[in-house]
């Protein structure tokens, strides 16, 4: 088999940019508001498409992360300033300007904060729901809060419409991909969310192509479902820079279809699987499906 780096990306990962739309306008609005998006910080391949549709995923609590996961393009910095107290309202005002009806909020991981930034998440959720008209939906993509159940309860009590936390990969790859995280701790987060509010929709995402086996992926999906996860996304890992983990395999559309079928057999009703799928990509469509 030829090395991935020499053969390059397969044809199904060559994406044409959409024409027209509001890409530059959305970038300008976000820049003027002084806000960060995971689309930009993580160099998401869907950024042009989403911005052209007036869609973005807000990233709160700064642009640097206290963890240094080897797959992620967000910058690592152990010493960070305190959260901006005006940020929750600024996110809400910007969502209003963009006329969003479904708002997705994520964050860097803030292990330096006592509650991991949970109270900041809660303030942002409430600011959006209090500011936007017509009962907006809010999905939050949260870190693990180092297993802090009180922090998790703070977010859940703000009543997001979906609580998302990415398991990211299979347990055998945590040591190299997520050395500061715990597979079991992430699974416990789903179970604890359901213990706090059994009606809260829970979502997770897996990236493929880091060297996992299909059997490991299937087991991880079973684990997620067993611990209360109801919505799942599966997408192709793409190496952001040469210093990040290499891609070990590009999954074909047919292989993603197999994973989607397996997820459905396990019990998932809402599934997004494909090369360009990301945890918050087309989030409203997946929620409404």
When pLDDT is averaged across residues 253-276 and rounded to a whole number, the result is: 96
Q: Is residue 2 part of a domain?
A: no
Domain of residue 149, CATH code: 3.20.20.70
143-165 in b/e form (b: 16+ CB < 10 A) is bbbeebeebbbbbbebebbbbbb
Q: Is residue 6 part of a domain?
A: no
Model confidence at 234, pLDDT cuts 50, 70, 90, reads very high
The residues, any chain, with a CB within 8 Å of residue 279's CB and separated by 6 or more, are: 141, 164, 166, 203, 204, 205, 233, 235
Q: Is residue 186 part of a domain?
A: yes
Q: Is residue 128 part of a domain?
A: yes
Q: Is residue 198 part of a domain?
A: yes
Model confidence at 41, pLDDT cuts 50, 70, 90, reads very low
- For residue 32, the model assigns a pLDDT of 66
Q: Which domain holds residue 142?
A: 18-288
Q: Residue written as tokens 């701790």? A: 185
When pLDDT is averaged across residues 117-142 and rounded to a whole number, the result is: 96
Q: Is residue 174 part of a domain?
A: yes
Q: Is residue 134 part of a domain?
A: yes
Q: Is residue 9 part of a domain?
A: no
- Check whether 16 has a pLDDT greater than 70: no
Total count of domains within the chain? 1
Distance CA 285, CA 67 (A): 31
Distance CA 203, CA 8 (A): 32
pTM across the whole model: 0.88
Give the highest mean pLDDT range of 1-10, 61-70, 112-121.
112-121
């Amino acid at each position: 088999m030829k090395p991935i780096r020499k053969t390059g990306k397969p044809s199904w990962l060559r994406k044409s940019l959409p024409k027209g739309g509001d890409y530059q306008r959305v970038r300008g609005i976000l820049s003027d508001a002084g806000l960060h998006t995971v689309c930009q910080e993580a160099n998401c391949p869907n950024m042009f498409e989403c911005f052209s549709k007036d869609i973005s995923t807000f990233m709160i609590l700064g642009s640097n992360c206290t963890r240094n996961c080897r797959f992620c393009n967000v910058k690592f910095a152990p010493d960070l300033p305190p959260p901006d107290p005006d940020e929750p309202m600024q996110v809400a005002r910007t969502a209003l300007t963009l006329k969003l009806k479904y708002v997705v909020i994520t964050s860097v991981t803030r292990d330096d904060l006592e509650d991991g930034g949970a109270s900041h998440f809660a303030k942002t959720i409430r600011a959006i729901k209090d500011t936007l008209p017509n009962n907006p939906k809010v999905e939050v993509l949260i870190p693990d809060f180092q297993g802090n159940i009180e922090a998790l309860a703070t977010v859940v009590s703000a009543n997001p419409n979906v609580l998302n936390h990415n398991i990211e990969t299979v347990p055998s790859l945590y040591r190299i991909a997520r050395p500061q995280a715990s597979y079991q701790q992430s699974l416990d987060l789903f179970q604890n969310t359901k213990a706090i509010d059994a009606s809260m929709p829970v979502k997770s995402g897996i990236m493929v192509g880091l060297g996992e086996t299909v059997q490991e992926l299937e087991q991880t999906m079973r684990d997620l479902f067993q611990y209360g996860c109801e919505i799942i996304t599966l997408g192709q890992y793409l190496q952001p820079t040469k210093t990040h983990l290499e891609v070990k395999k590009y999954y074909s559309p047919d292989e993603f279809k197999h994973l989607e079928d397996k997820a459905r057999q396990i019990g998932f009703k809402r599934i997004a699987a494909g090369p360009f799928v990301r945890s918050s990509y087309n989030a409203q469509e997946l929620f409404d499906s």
